Amino acid sequence: MNSDLKRILATLLAFDTTSRESNLQLINYIDEYLRGYGIATRLFFDEEGKKANLYARFGPEGPGGVMLSGHTDVVPVDGQRWTVPPFELTLRDDLCYGRGSTDMKGFIACVLAAVPDFLSQPLRMPLHLAFSYDEEVGCLGVRSLVDHLKASKDKPALCIIGEPTEMRPVYGHKGKLAMRCTVQGKACHSAYAPSGVNAIEYAAKLITRLGTLGETLAQTRDSRFDPPYSTLQVGVIHGGAALNIVPESCQFDFEIRHLPDVSLEPTLAELHGYAAGELLTSMRAVAPQADITFSPLSRYPGLLSDPQSEFAGWLAQWAQSEAFSTVAFGTRAACSMKRA
């Protein structure tokens, strides 16, 4: 690792850009860095002005060219047993440690460190740089940047997103839907349980139905993915106040990671129908105010591109790997294609 790359990576890691925090210090650093090389930038802020995307382009005028894209936010370190300071660069056995060193400040550092080399070359096409916020919470931040590119006459032709794939070119990933279900029942003393509506018990019925729906989703297979089917899981649940009180409310979060060609509409229709029909009918017979609501937390589509395309061949040569693959996690690539 050369000294410039090491310095840039150490600087990026020092910014706590956990998704719940602002990323503006990091964005301002990148902005000043690029402007120092005479590269104009543009920032796209969130509604509160606490986070921003950064876009830059240089080289020949006109459409086309390659975009290098990465996200600036990282997942939390809360409750994790780090053996090194998470927001510092630690080098050990030729490996870089620090929150985001792999996903994906390492890629951003490589791009920034390469800027002087890019500028020294007679570029035949434009080079675009795009760095976004809130990727880790549902690819939320990049959307304003994508909308800008969609309206531009100088769109890039290709986009490389530097996710941690161990230098394996990835041409596809699953989509994701994350939802929150809130069950509102009626509290009462547990000695008179039939007079109440137990929100946890009805949430359990919904979770059981989700398990059945997950089994149905898993019947559609695609051997290009691992696992080769869509998955559904409940990851968070909250409910109840005390053992001797029939719980008034229960809330749980679930997610579906689905194959690119799988539509979730039949699954959601069956879930909503079960909740609005059988369950609410039973609940409201005891408590007319009882309710079940579903709220989307995040959603992005799946992606499948052509591993036989000219671009794929060029990327394989650049990455020194023809081992094209897919991944089960998601990226901003699908958000870009969906909105383009």
Q: Is 316 exposed, middle or buried (0-12, 13-18, 19+ CB in 10 A)?
A: middle
Q: Which residues in 46-157 belong to E strands, given as ranges?
A: 52-58, 66-71, 90-92, 95-97, 127-132
Q: Which of 31, 103, 135, 255 is catalytic?
A: 135
CA 323 to chain centre: 24
CA distance 310 to 250: 52
4 given a catalytic annotation: no
Both structure tokens of 212: 């059945």
CA angle 328, 104, 44 (to 5 degrees): 105
Among the listed residues 199, 205, 169, 156, the one whose alpha carbon sits nearest the alpha carbon of residue 337: 156
Residue in the block written with tokens 């005891």:
286
Residues 31, 73, 163, 222: which is the catalytic one?
A: 73
Helical (H) or strand (E) element with 172: strand 170-173
CA distances from 136 to 32, 93, 257 (A): 25, 28, 15
> Does the annotation mark 117 as catalytic?
no
Identify whether the C-beta of residue 336 lies closer than 8 Å to the C-beta of residue 145.
Answer: no
Q: What is the spatial distance between Cα 19 and Cα 74, in angstroms, rounded to a whole number?
A: 6
| Residues identified as active-site | 73, 135
